[in-house]
A and B are shown apart, each in its own frame.
Chain A
Amino acid sequence: MSTIIVDKIAKSFGATQAVQDVSFEVRPGEIFGLLGPNGSGKTTSIRVILDIYQPDSGSVTILGGPMTNEKLNQIGYIPEERGLYQDVPLDRCLTYLATLKGLTEEQITERLPKYLAKFDLTDHAKKKAKELSKGMQQKGQLIAALIHDPEIVIIDEPFSALDPVNTQLVKDLLIEQRNAGKTIVMCTHQMNQVEQLCDRLVLIDHGRVLLQGELSEVFDRFRTNEVIIDSLDPLPEELNGVSRIEQLNGGYRLTPQAGLSAHQLLDELLAQGIKLNSFEVAVPTLDEIFIKVVKEGNGKHE
C-alpha cells in the first residue's frame, strides 16, 4: 500500500490554476523526487498533501486514509525558506517545535542533544537562529523535521545553502532514514542529487504532471543509441553508419543510422580505421531529461 496517494488534485488561487489533475503515489521506504521548475506547482502540491490547502477537486490519501490531527505527528516537514524563529535560541526553538509534534519534555531532553551533536550544532545551541549561517539553520530545520521520528519526511530543497561536507551529511541521513523504512519526499532542482538518491520521481510543470516513474524507467525512456567517442585523429565529415556527427569538447557525439545498434556502430568505426581512445553509449543526464521534458511541455502549453 502506498504511503501517499495523490489522486487528480486541482487547486487554483483566483484566476491562477496552481495544479491541475496531478496524480502520483509515494511508496513506503522510498525517496521520492518531486521535481519541477520554479512556480510549477510543487509547493502547492506539498501543501495539499500536508492538508494546509484543501484541493478544489481530487483527493489525498496519507498512511491509509485522509489526513488527521494524529497523522500530523507522523510527518516531518522542512519548507524551502527558513522556518525557524530568528530571535529565539536554537535549542529553545527546536524544543518548542518538538512539543508541537507531541514529544514529551523527557523525550526532547534525551533526543535533542544527540541530534545537535550529530549535526555539529552543540556549540551553537544557545545562539539565535539569526546568528547562525544558512547551512546551520538548514541543519536546525532538519532536526526539527526528524526529532519526532516521523514516518514521512517532506523536504523542500534539502541541499540549499549546504557546503559539500554537509551535503554529504544530509544525503547520508536521508539514506539512513530510507533504510529505516521511512518515506521521504524531496523537492529539489539539483538533478545530480535526485540521480543519486531518488528511487522514483514525478516532474511537474505548469501545474501538470509531465513525467513520472522509477528513475531507471525514466532513463530508459529517454535513452538513445547515440554514442560518445574520443578518437586519436579528427573525424571526417561523413562516416558510414553515422547519420549525425556533433563535435564536443574533447570528443564527438555520433547518432547511428536507423536500425544500427551501438556495438554495430563500433564495428563500422573500426572497419573504417577510426582509432578510438574511448567509446561509450550516451546516457542522458536527468538535467537533460528535465530540460527536454519541460521544453516539450512548454511547447504544448504555447
Chain B
Amino acid sequence: MNKTMNVARYEYLHHVVNKRFWLSLVSVPLGFGLILVISLLLSRFSFDTRPVGIVDNGSLIQIEPDNSKESTFFNPQIYLNVYPDESIARSAASTGEIQGFAIVPEDYAAGYQLTYWTNKQPDSSVQSVITDFISANLMAAENIDYAVLHRIREGSSISLQSLDGSQTSDGTGWHRIVVPAVIGILNFIVVMTSGGYLLKALVEEKENRTIEIMLTSVPSREIMAGKIVGNLGVGLTQIVVWVLLLGIAGFLFRSKLGFLADINLSGSYLVISLALMVLSFLFTAALMATIGAAMTSTEESQGVIGLMVPPMMFPFYFFNVFLSNPNGILARVLSFIPLSAPLALSLRMAISSVSPLEIGLVFVVIITFTLLMFWLAGVVFKRGMLQYSRRLRFKEIFKKETRNA
C-alpha cells in the first residue's frame, strides 16, 4: 500500500508541481472568460443606442415615452422620441440623430400595422421598445394600468412536483440544465486531460523502459492503482481550482449575476453528481491504462482514445431527446454507461424525477463496470507493458495469470 501511495504521490506531484500544468489549468477558465468578455464587448459595441423616432398619424399616443431609465454600459437603453410629422423624423434619421422611425398610420386600428423607416437592420430591442410603447398607449386608451402589461408579459412560473412528493423542480428555464451541462463539460475536460496524462505516462514508461525497473520494485496492480489515484488527484485539483476561480469571479461580479440565484443546487444532487464523476474518472482511467499498456506508441493510443469521445458526448448530442423524454429508453441506457452517466443522470435528475432505486442501480452497475475495468487493466498492464514492438493480442489477455499481476 505504501508503494501504491508512493506511485500516486509521484504521479500527482509530477503534474501538479509543474508550471505547464498551472498555465493550462488557469488558461482554460481564463480562455472561456476572455471569449465571453470579447463576445459581450463585441455585442455591446455593435448595439445601436441611438433613440428611435415615433410619428403618430393615428392619434394613438396618449402617454409620453418613459425615457427615465438610465442607460449604462451593461444595460443599454433605447429611448423613444416622438415627432410631430414624418419630415422632421426623416431629417433626424438622415443626420444620424436617431437610428430610424416608426409611423403609426391613420388607419392603425384597421390592421395594427406600423412602418419602420431605417437604413439598417434594426436590433430586436428596437421592435420591443416600439411595440411596448404602442401596447402601453393602446391599454391607456382602455384605462388599463401600464403595470398590467408587464404582468401579462412575464406570465406564470410552474413548479414541478413528483407524485410521491420526493422530487421538486422549479420552473422550466435554462437554469435547470446549466448545472448538469457544466458537470458534463467539467467531466469531459477532467477525464480527457488527467486521463491523458495517465496514458502519456504509461506509454512513455514503456518507451523509455522505466517500466521494467518499476515492475521489479512494485507489483503491477499497485503501480496501476497508484497511477490512477495520482491522476484522480490531478483531476480533482483541476475541479477545485476551477470551482474556486468561478467562486472568485462570481463574488467579484455578484451584482451582475443575480440570475444565478435561480439555479437550484441541492446537496444530494451535488454529491451524486460528484460521485458519478469520480466513478466515471476511475473507469476511464482504467480504460486508458488498458489502452496505454496494450499499444506500442503514443500515436497509436491517441487514435483509440478518439473512440471514447462520442460516448461521453452522447447526452449532448441527444440533448433534445433528454429534454423531451428524460425517462425514456435512450436517456436511461446512457445513465448506465460509465462514460456518459455523469452527464446523463445529472441531467435527468435536474429536469425530471429519478427514483432512488434507479440511482442506486446506476451506481451498482457503474461500480461493477469500474471494478471489471480495473481487473482488465491489471492483466493488460502486466502482459502488454513489456511488449515494445507489437500490440497485445486479445487472446493473450486471458492467458493464465501470474503471481505479480
Query: Taking beta carbons and an 8 Å cutoff, which residues of A are in contact with B?
Result: 14, 47, 50-54, 66-67, 69, 72-73, 75, 77-79, 81-88, 96-97, 99-102, 144
Contact of B216 among A77, A84, A88 (CB under 8 A): A77
Is B10 a contact of A79 with CB atoms below 8 Å?
no
B400 at the interface (CB under 8 A from A): yes
Interface string of B210-223 (1 = CB under 8 A from A): 10111111110000
Those 5 A-B pairs whose CB atoms lie nearest each other, nearest first: A54-B402, A100-B217, A79-B212, A77-B216, A99-B6
Residues in A with CB closer than 8 Å to B210 are 82-85
Is A75 a contact of B216 with CB atoms below 8 Å?
yes
B208 at the interface (CB under 8 A from A): yes
Within the complex, what minimum Cβ distance (angstroms) separates A298 from chain B? 24
Residue of A nearest to B17 (CB): A92
Contact of B213 among A47, A97, A99, A102 (CB under 8 A): A97
Is A51 a contact of B208 with CB atoms below 8 Å?
no
**Given the contacts A53-B402, A83-B208, A99-B6, A47 and B386 also touching, CB distance less than 8 Å:** yes
Is B215 a contact of A81 with CB atoms below 8 Å?
no
Residues in B with CB closer than 8 Å to A82 are 208-210
**Given the contacts A51-B403, A53-B402, A100 and B208 also touching, CB distance less than 8 Å:** no
Residues in A with CB closer than 8 Å to B400 are 54
Contact of A83 among B7, B209, B386 (CB under 8 A): B209
Q: In the bound complex, how far is the Cα of B217 from the Cα of A77, in angstroms? A: 9
Is B6 a contact of A51 with CB atoms below 8 Å?
no
**Given the contacts A79-B209, A79-B212, A84-B208, A66 and B403 also touching, CB distance less than 8 Å:** yes
Is B403 a contact of A77 with CB atoms below 8 Å?
no
Contact of B217 among A14, A72, A79 (CB under 8 A): A72
Is A51 a contact of B404 with CB atoms below 8 Å?
yes
Within the complex, what minimum Cβ distance (angstroms) separates A268 from chain B? 58
Residues in B with CB closer than 8 Å to A96 are 6, 10
CB pairs A–B below 8 angstroms (10 shown): A47-B386, A52-B216, A54-B402, A67-B404, A82-B208, A83-B209, A99-B3, A100-B214, A100-B217, A102-B2
Interface size class of B (residues with CB under 8 A): 20 to 34
Contact of B209 among A75, A81, A87 (CB under 8 A): A81
Within the complex, what minimum Cβ distance (angstroms) separates A157 from chain B? 12
B14 at the interface (CB under 8 A from A): yes
Is A88 a contact of B217 with CB atoms below 8 Å?
no
Residues in B with CB closer than 8 Å to A50 are 215-216
Residue of A nearest to B214 (CB): A100
Residues in A with CB closer than 8 Å to B219 are 69
Residues in B with CB closer than 8 Å to A53 are 386, 402
Residues in A with CB closer than 8 Å to B14 are 88
Within the complex, what minimum Cβ distance (angstroms) separates B9 from chain A? 8
Q: In the bound complex, how far is the Cα of B11 from the Cα of A88, in angstroms? A: 12
Contact of A52 among B10, B209, B386, B393 (CB under 8 A): B386
Centre residue among A47, A52, A67 by max chain B CB count within 10 A: A52
Q: In the bound complex, how far is the Cα of B3 from the Cα of A102, in angstroms? A: 8
Residue of A nearest to B11 (CB): A96
Residues in B with CB closer than 8 Å to A86 are 204, 208
Interchain Cβ contacts within 8 Å, total number: 73
Residue of B nearest to A97 (CB): B213
Query: Taking beta carbons and an 8 Å cutoff, which residues of B are in contact with A?
Result: 2-3, 6-7, 10, 14, 204-205, 208-210, 212-219, 386, 393, 396, 400-404
Residues in A with CB closer than 8 Å to B3 are 99-100, 102
Q: In the bound complex, how far is the Cα of B219 from the Cα of A73, in angstroms? A: 11
Within the complex, what minimum Cβ distance (angstroms) separates A128 from chain B? 12
Residues in B with CB closer than 8 Å to A81 are 209
Residues in A with CB closer than 8 Å to B10 are 96, 99
**Given the contacts A83-B213, A100-B7, A100-B218, A54 and B403 also touching, CB distance less than 8 Å:** yes
Q: In the bound complex, how far is the Cα of B386 from the Cα of A67, in angstroms? A: 19
Q: In the bound complex, how far is the Cα of B403 from the Cα of A51, in angstroms? A: 8
Residue of B nearest to A79 (CB): B212
Q: With A72-B217, A97-B213 given, can you name 16 additional A-B contacts, CB distance below 8 Å?
A: A14-B396, A51-B403, A52-B215, A53-B402, A54-B401, A72-B216, A75-B216, A79-B213, A83-B213, A84-B208, A85-B204, A86-B208, A96-B10, A100-B7, A100-B217, A144-B213
Within the complex, what minimum Cβ distance (angstroms) separates B107 from chain A? 80
Is A52 a contact of B208 with CB atoms below 8 Å?
no
Residues in A with CB closer than 8 Å to B2 are 102
Residues in B with CB closer than 8 Å to A144 are 213
Is A85 a contact of B216 with CB atoms below 8 Å?
no
Centre residue among B14, B213, B403 by max chain A CB count within 10 A: B213
Q: In the bound complex, how far is the Cα of B227 from the Cα of A96, in angstroms? A: 13
Within the complex, what minimum Cβ distance (angstroms) separates B210 from chain A? 6
Q: In the bound complex, how far is the Cα of B405 from the Cα of A67, in angstroms? A: 13
Within the complex, what minimum Cβ distance (angstroms) separates B223 from chain A? 9
Q: In the bound complex, how far is the Cα of B217 from the Cα of A70, in angstroms? A: 9
Is B403 a contact of A67 with CB atoms below 8 Å?
yes
Within the complex, what minimum Cβ distance (angstroms) separates B324 from chain A? 50
Residue of A nearest to B401 (CB): A54
**Given the contacts A100-B3, A100-B7, A72 and B218 also touching, CB distance less than 8 Å:** yes
**Given the contacts A83-B208, A85-B208, A77 and B386 also touching, CB distance less than 8 Å:** no
Q: In the bound complex, how far is the Cα of B386 from the Cα of A53, in angstroms? A: 9
Residues in A with CB closer than 8 Å to B209 are 79, 81-83
Is A52 a contact of B213 with CB atoms below 8 Å?
no
Q: In the bound complex, how far is the Cα of B402 from the Cα of A292, in angstroms? A: 37
Within the complex, what minimum Cβ distance (angstroms) separates A85 from chain B? 6
Residues in B with CB closer than 8 Å to A88 are 14
Q: In the bound complex, how far is the Cα of B215 from the Cα of A274, in angstroms? A: 64
Q: In the bound complex, how far is the Cα of B11 from the Cα of A99, in angstroms? A: 13
Residues in A with CB closer than 8 Å to B401 are 54
Residues in A with CB closer than 8 Å to B403 are 51, 54, 66-67
Within the complex, what minimum Cβ distance (angstroms) separates B386 from chain A? 6
Residues in B with CB closer than 8 Å to A51 are 402-404
Residues in A with CB closer than 8 Å to B386 are 47, 52-53
**Given the contacts A53-B402, A54-B400, A77 and B212 also touching, CB distance less than 8 Å:** yes
Residues in A with CB closer than 8 Å to B404 are 51-52, 54, 67
Residues in A with CB closer than 8 Å to B214 are 97, 100
Residue of A nearest to B205 (CB): A85
Q: In the bound complex, how far is the Cα of B393 from the Cα of A52, in angstroms? A: 18
Residue of B nearest to A93 (CB): B210
